[in-house]
Chains A and B, each alone.
Chain A
Amino acid sequence: MWGVLRGARRPPPALRRGLAKPAGPRSVRQLREAEEAAPVFQYVGKAAKRKDRVFVWGFSYSGALGVPSFVKPDVGWKKPRRIQPTPYRLETEEKISSAACGYGFTLLSSNTTDITKVWGMGLNKDSQLGFQRSRRDRTKGYEYVLEPSPIPLPLEKPQQTRVLQVSCGRAHSLILTDSEGVFTMGNNSYGQCGRKVVEDETYRVFVGHTKAHHTDLQSSEILCVAFSLLGGCLVVSSESHLIHQLKEFDSRVVQVVCGQDHSLFRTKKGAVYACGWGADGQTGLGHYNITSVPTKLCGDIAGVNIIQVSSYGDCCLAVSDEGDVFGWGNSEYLQLASVTETTQVNVPRHLPFKIGKIKEAACGGTGNIVLTEEGNVFVWGYGILGKGPNLIETAVPEMIPPSLFGRSDFNPDIRVAHVRCGLSQFAALTNRGELFVWGKNIRGCLGTGRMEDQYFPWRVTVPGEVVDVACGVDHMVSMVKSFT
């Protein structure tokens, strides 16, 4: 036994040293061999797809940006961020195909066939985001929704219907589906949701004593506006969470647009329907009263195939397939002054502009913008129009020089592809995926990183190619594709 153990414990082999290599710089051959022997990393394969992302910026205390840590920080060292001045990425579960910004709230929708198709965040005092049942009290809903929360829609076939488009107004929102018509939610005091106006309907509007629950002053401004518009009636706490479904149109609805307190529907046949507040003629039905049922518009657009409708404030524009533009509604800011002197136009009128065939139009609160087939952008109206601080108002469209969008001898084929309008901001998307904004910089909504107003188109640096942008009063949402 001892012999075996003694045999097992052999002395450790002497440490051998090979012939020492000289230190000194390696020769070219050695370097090349070392390079060829180095491992190759693969970060992305040939079939890598570009990812879709959502970026938000602007005023965050209303919850409209969908980032709860801006309003209520989750970690001690974070401070509440009132304004997000540059684009901030919002994580979403699904690919968002359509987004809309209202007055302090946002709707995002995806065209999946899953059960959850629409998410909403921001102000929910008029149930414009549907009824978000509060976890603390099952009978009440949330006033401010800080994170994108799913909106349950009463669909008949929830796993087959797809949501095509969403649109938001001041306190109401519209959701367009492909086979089940249009769903409307929110404030209906002017019939903008397409259902009969109910006297003293309540949407959770409280009087001033609950100011302590609000985190800032802006929300109380909106609160006061809503309060006064409802005629100053005192309300009690039950919420109206009706999601109304509209199906009676002559053909399938292909576009929905919300103005401030009215709604416009464009059908496949080229007709336009409207409902809601009409005191500025924005319903275009020939009178200045409230309409609670969507009614077809006549006037200069009767019989014309309209391919796009737009509105955000109290003025509306429609573009026909032949490139003509029609307008109705508020004209206090010279939006329709080229055809009429009256400040309220309640019948659609053809605007005879000789600027070429018009492809797209967008209406803001006081200014309008159109895009022609050649890719030129024309603005008119009142406010910061984008041609420097000297141009404050004009009734006739003025072109914005394409060199401001990056066109030069070096890049002669840059064209503007889309135009969008917020309340007093404009946004233009080029065919290279760049986003240009200009207008009043209300609470940082332009996304330029500065707080000053921008008098001519300015690039917003977004890490990706911008596919679409939605402009609101004080925030913006953009859908972006990553580069690689």
Chain B
Amino acid sequence: MSTCSVSKGCFVFKPSTKKRRLSEKTDHYFRSTSNDSEDTVLRFITCQSLWSQIKSETEQIQEDMNKQLLDNLVSFLSRSHSDFQEKTTEWTSRMKFREIPTAALVLGVNVTDHDLTFRGLSDVLQNNITPYVALLEAKDCPGIKNLMQKLMGQLMNCDIDVDSLEDEDCVQVSQNKIRCSMPSLISWYESVTKKTDSETPSEKRNSSSRHWQSPPVVVVFKDMESFTTKVLQDFIVISSQHIHELPLVLIFGIATSPMIIHRLLPHSVSSLLCIELFQSLSCKEHLSTIIDKLLLTSHFPFKLGEKVLQVLINIFLYHDFSVQNFIKGFQLCIVEHFYSQPLSVLCCHLVDIKKRVYSLSHDQCENIRRLPSFRRYVEKQESGKQIELLTNDSFLKEETEKLLEDLHVYHENYVSILRCLHVFTSSLPKYPLGKQIRELHCACLENQVWETNEYESSLQLARMLNKTDLVTMLQQCVEILVSSSGKEFDKTVKHLKEFLTQFQNLEASEASQEQDVSVSSQKELQKKTDLYHLQKTLLELKESRRSKKLTKFEMLRFEVVDYIDRLVRKYLVPAGDRTLHEIVYFNAATVLRGHLNAAPRTALHTALNNPHWYLKNEALKCDGGGISNKAPDICIVYKLHLECGRLINLVDWLEAFSTVVTAAEEPNGDAASSDQVDDIIHARFIRAVSELELLGFIKPSKQKTDHVARLTWGGC
């Protein structure tokens, strides 16, 4: 059994309780904390259904992304043992050394995502190529013996899975009984393939028509890097001797680079392999697709705020590159949002909004009135309406429904215009607004994007685009807007199309004009001969160009950029400015950071250094670096040990401890005079020190017997 703990130790595993009871409990969790009628059950149901939608969507995306890779692998596998099928006796195949076909599968450093890929891989293989797939992990195979055991266990089990339904007399061998050697594997393989041959044709069609008569045996090494050299070498040497009887294919899952094969295997062993390289899509592209499909869409009512999205993306880019963790974080956001925000019951699809708004309780209406964005909205209304909004529940509900619908429309428009803007900004030199759409999205969410310097500079750059680029971009924008679900874009599309036709009309007229100007200036240039005059005319020419009336193309270009600018200002308003955005946007970035990016060292230090922070006891509050004697013993010991060097003298430490503890109790210094330390204080000190040792701050030192060594900062 494995744990998710980072530390080593003993873990207790209780037998898992029944699943049904668990699911009953979970909606209870939602309810117990909020005791009022805040639609907790409905919120829980909404949360569950939303998550299941998102989950299926992400799985679909994952499958699509891996499709190319898996197809390549399948074709490789089907090719790999073609000569085993045909049993050719040609000269070349006779002379050639039979190498083990090997696929080196480079998957990137995000090891946590690999499991999903391998699961997909083994599913695909079992459906298309062979039922005999074994997945091996380095931690299960410290020696060749364990590897063989694991391999045979998996292979023979999978066979039993397939056959046990139909025939009872199949060899029920317990794993311990069989000899873990290649010959027994080969005899198993022969018996299995023979059995499929002898099956009746009708049966054959059902069970194994997808596979060939002698399907290859695929062995997947999930984490190539962690395998020891000896195990791999031995396994390859052994299996290469039996490649004629057992069509084996190896798949190496590689996290770093394929060079690891040469590092792990000497030439004498790697020459037994026929290695082909397969590369999975980079995890960054994977993330872009996920963001594109999950966040930049109006399918899901739930949205992430700028800060939260930034936290998730930062964890991805700075720490783990793991798409799985990103999705987990997203899931946490959903749960947290529906749990902590009572109004999240309104975070649902447009069709349900009306019903839900009208069934809101009075408490919930008060909740709405308390929302900061709603208060801002109220303040902007005239006084009569203000009173209505604040006192009349049914009027408030009507208004809320309207506002929520507005919010929905805003999202639809936002996504389309964001994509249009991205078309422009992603092709500018140096990418002032970022190369990826996620960066642009964050910038737009954060504040009014048109007020930033980056936006200004990108507009400036856009004004210098050449015609062909501009035309293709406009065409892309038209495509995006046409395919978008927003209803307001008919006019915009018409406008953009007009621009396009204008550009086309320009072509003919412009060409002739341009030539005239350039020719005349060229002539002037040729007349002047001496340096001074040449310089002068060049300056004049430059001057005239600057002040020169803009060409038609340039004018049009300005118009286009201005039009885009207007669209941005209209539609890309940051979500924080919209009324009722709290209902669909999750913004609690600090909560998320606390959950996902925990800082154990800092937390421990805070707890020991400033116990008031966690214990909320006023008496513990201390200012400055002083040590209060009311603090728990371990805190006092910890603070004292911070002042010491690498080695701490236990006697001195005890002395200091007893001074601190007794200081307030007996201010007249009665105990200080006697050098005998109280037994109770001594015991408390020993307990505190051993607690500190358990936490890993100190350890007994071998250098001096009455000293302990510090293990943390300042220890060296």
Q: Do A and B bind each other?
A: no
